[in-house]
Amino acid sequence: MARIFKPSKGKSSSKKPRNHRAGATSQRDFEVLRYADDGRGIAIDNGKVVFIDGALPGEKVHAELIKTGKRFDEARCLSVHSPSPLRVEPTCGVYQHCGGCQLQHLNYRGQLEYKQQRLKKIIAGIADDVAVGAMPSTAFGYRHRARLSYRLGHLGFRRRASHEVENFVQCPVLMPELEGAIDAVRGPLLAALKPSKSAELHFALGTTATGEVAVGLSLEDQAARTSTWCMALAKALAPAVMLQRVSSVGGEWCHPEAMPLNYDFSFRHADTDEADSSQGRGEFFAGDFTQVNPAINQRVVEQCLSWLKPQAGDLIADFFCGLGNFSFPLAQCGARVVAMDAGAAMIERARQVSARYPGEPAINFHLADLFDEGQIALPKGINKAVLDPPRAGAKALCQRLAGHKTLLEIVYISCDPATLARDLVTLTEGGWRVQGAISVDMFPQTHHLESMVYLTRSGLK
C-alpha cells in the first residue's frame, strides 16, 4: 500500500510541534502533490512533509506555516496561484474558521472521488480484484442533528483546532427545519446560558408520534441548574424546540412531559423497489446516537439487505445494534435477529419498540460490551452478521468471527478507514474474502469516510 502521511496521535521521540509566528519567513509557495487522510493538501518542502489546510492536489499555493515539527509542518493556504479545476467557492460564510467542514472548497464530484480513492487503497491491499463503488448524497442540507457549543456568550460550532466557538447565522449542511429551529431559539438560549462558562447542546430533528416535524434538545451545562431553571428554559424554547433533558453539576433533569422523537424503519425491496408496508418507528432523544444523514442511512440499510438477502431460516447477528437500525429491517424480511450493544438506554428503547412493533419481529436485544472479550457471546447457529462499530472498530469481535464456522456472510459498516483496514486483515487471514465495497458519503463537505464491505467465506461466492 502507498504510504500515507498524516500527523501521529501517539507518542513520538520527536519534539512537540510548536506554534510558528506569522511573518515573512513563515510564508512561502508550495506545490501540492496529493491529499492527506484528513483532506488537507500535502507538499514536500526541503524533504519535509507539509500539511496545508485549504489546498488541493495539483495547485501551487501561497501558505503560512502555523506549526513546525521534526517530522512534518502544518500550514494554511493564503492564496492560490494556479487553482485546481475542482476548486469552488465555499458556500458557508464562516467556512474558513469553523471546524465543522473541511472540504467546501472542493466540488462535490471531487469529494466523492477523494473518498472513493481512500477506500480503494484499503481494499487494494486486501482484494485487488474487487471494484469499489460510491454512494453519493445530497451535498447540503442533509444533517438531522447537530452538536453546538456555548462558550462565554458565543453559540456555534468549535473553530478549527481550537476550543473557541464560531458563531454562525446559517449552516448549509443542516436540514432547513433544524437550522430554522436553532435560529428561532438562539436568543432565549444565549440569555439563559449567560452565567455559564461553557455548555454543549445536542439538537435533533425527528417526528412526533402523530408524524409532525419536531426538534429536541439535550443540554450539558457546567453550571448547576435547578428544575425551576430547566422548566423556565423549556417554556422559553417551546414550541420551536423541545427541551428533553439537562445534565449539570446539579444532576440530570428530564422534562416530565418529554416525548421521544421518532424515525421510520423503512426500506425499499430490491426486487420491487417499493417501500415496505410494515414499516415501524424507532424512538430516540436528542443526544442519542443516530446516523446524521437519514437519506443515506436508508440506502445503507437497503444495500445491507441486498447483500445479505435475509429470509426465513436465517439467524443474523447485529453487532453494535444501537436502536435497531439494521435489526428491524432484517427481521421484517423474515430473519431471526440477535442484536447486541453496550448502550443500556438504547437497548431498552429498542426492546420497547420491538414489543409494540407490527407483527412482533423476532429480535432478541442483548446488553453487551463488544470491546470486552469476556462479554462477546456468539449466538449458536448464526449464519450472517452485521457489524456497525464506532471509530475504534471491532478488533476483539473480528478475532472471534474470523474462525466462526457456521457464519457465512458479513456486512461491515465502518466510520474509520484505519480500523476498517486492521479488522479486514484479521478477517481475511481467518479465511474471509471481500466480495464488495462501497464508499458511502454520509458526511458531505467533510473528510469523514463511511464505508460498507461485504465478505463471505473463501470459495463460497
CA distance 157 to 178: 15
3-state SS, residue 271:
coil
Selecting among 171, 304, 321, 415, the annotated active-site residue is 415
CA distance 218 to 233: 12
98 assigned to active site: no
State the Cα angle at 149 between 148 and 155, rounded to 5°. Answer: 90
Q: Strand pairing of 315-319 and 336-341?
A: parallel
Angle between helices 417-429 and 108-124 (to 10 degrees): 30
CA distance 216 to 182: 10
DSSP calls for 158-211 = EBTTSSSEEE-S--TTB-HHHHHHHHHHHHHHHHHHTT-SEEEEEEEEEE-TTS
Annotated binding site: 291, 320, 341, 388
Cβ neighbour number for residue 271 with a 10 Å cutoff? 7
CA distance 129 to 124: 8
Closest to 44 (Cα-Cα) out of 77, 63, 72, 80: 72
Closest to 43 (Cα-Cα) out of 358, 55, 178: 55
3-state SS, residue 349:
helix
CA distance 12 to 432: 35
365: exposed, middle or buried (Cβ count in 10 Å: 0-12, 13-18, 19+): buried
CB-based contacts of 345, cutoff 8 Å, min separation 6 = 288
Q: Strand pairing of 34-35 and 280-284?
A: unpaired
Annotated binding site for S-adenosyl-L-methionine: 291, 320, 341, 388
Q: What are 409's three cell numbers?
A: 456472510
Helices (H), ranges, 66-107 = none
* Residues assigned a catalytic role: 415
